[in-house]
Amino acid sequence: MDFALLKDNNIVKALSKAFKEGKNVNSYVLQCEKQLADNLLTWCADVVLCKNFGCNDCLTCRKVFSGNHLDVFRLPNKLKEKNTDKMEIADVRFLLEEEEKRPVEGDKKVFLINACNSLKGVAVANWQNALLKTLEEPHKNVYIFIAVENAQGLLPTIISRCQVLTCQKTKEEEIVNYLSRQGCTQKVAQLATLLCDGSLPKAEEVVADTTYLVALEEVVQALKTTTSTKNALPFVALLHNHKDDVDKYFQIITAVLMQTLHYRLHQEKFVLSSWEEDVCSICAQYSIQAVLAVTGLVEKAKKDIDSSVNFSVVIDNLVADVLEVKFRCQI
């Protein structure tokens, strides 16, 4: 994942504004996906240290992004004897000693704590308690950022001493553009955007797994060509053949049908432009009411399979019910 992408991240923008206007605090908790934590923390350090509050262009930025800025410290410290990705008291002790020393390159020091893996286990309160005092009485030019997936996992005493910033979902258009810049084809970029629910790490997972594109093409064909119970067999067979990854097929059926709604109602959320003709032809078969009813049926089928109802029965009923609903809710 490249750094440029997070330039438009809501946390980076909010921090940049706060530091520019002098309305910043010293300690922040960032709520974000685990896969984004390291890069997002780097951006936070950059906003603090860069004279332009994160321009991604100056010497300071280059040093921060290449990991060579001497006033940026990452914790947990991977260099310590025990190589672990969990915060320990030793990490906090290091921070407390280091914050007493003068900065080397400028007049500020930044500590980046990736605590995504540090909120479980028996000793989880220890490192947090050790950190409390410095959060309460922060050194003037010392900045601490703590990244977690869910701030509720931190001690309330930590949260009350920090400002909490939450990472928002990435917009569809930004994800498509990002993936295209990474060299994805238009189709793959659109597919990944469709299935990732605003999460870049999830989008990259979809890109890496070529079976998603195959599944999407199969689902689109099935929705287009299954017009009545007379020709429903291929659709039933498709789901039977994918018993092991039927959740993927369910997810794609729902996502494609929701795209037909967006195509009709919210163009800004329509991402499958490479399949526009197919989507049009599915629109012609499924009214808006039918789409909503079918997504409910898929959800129910998923629950039934999860609670061990016979797979074949669930699939047969699902396809029959979909066709029934499609017929009943005709346009």
Does the protein bind Zn ion through residue 258 (CB under 5 A)? no
CA 94 from centre of chain? 31
Two tokens, residue 116: 């995504």
Q: Closer CB to Zn ion, residue 46 or residue 172?
A: 46
**SS3 label, residue 102:** coil
36 part of the interface to Zn ion, by CB under 5 A: no
Q: Judged by CB under 5 A, which stretch of 47-55, 136-144, 209-217, 305-313 contacts Zn ion?
A: 47-55
Q: Helix, strand, or coil here: 91?
A: helix
In DSSP notation, 294-312 reads HHHHHHHHHHHHHTT--HH
- Tokens 């009923």 locate to 317
- The span of 28-36, 43-51, 77-85, 294-302 binding Zn ion (CB under 5 A) equals 43-51
The amino acid at 196: C
Residues in the chain: 331
CA distance 301 to 313: 10
Interaction between residue 292 and Zn ion (CB under 5 A):
no
Within 10 A of 112 (CB to CB), how many other CB atoms are there? Answer: 22
Among 5, 61, 142, 175, binds Zn ion (CB under 5 A): 61
Q: Per CB under 5 A, does 105 bind Zn ion?
A: no
CA-based R_g, the chain, Å: 25
Listed ranges 26-34, 42-50, 66-74, 87-95: which one lies at the site for Zn ion (CB under 5 A):
42-50
Q: Which range binds Zn ion by CB under 5 A, 56-64, 109-117, 156-164, 271-279? A: 56-64
- Binding to Zn ion by residue 108, rule CB under 5 A? no
Q: Is 147 in the site for Zn ion (CB under 5 A)?
A: no
Q: Which is nearer to Zn ion, 58 or 155 (CB)?
A: 58
Residue 159 touching Zn ion (CB under 5 A):
no
> Which of 14, 18, 58, 320 is close enough to bind Zn ion by CB under 5 A?
58
Structural element, H or E, at residue 109? strand 109-114
The CA-based angle 317-290-238, given to 5 degrees, is 40
124 binds Zn ion (CB under 5 A): no
90: contact with Zn ion by CB under 5 A = no
If one counts every other C-beta atom within 10 angstroms of the C-beta of residue 203, the result is 27
Touching Zn ion, residues 161-190 (CB under 5 A): none
Q: Which residues bind Zn ion (CB under 5 A)?
A: 50, 52, 55, 58, 61
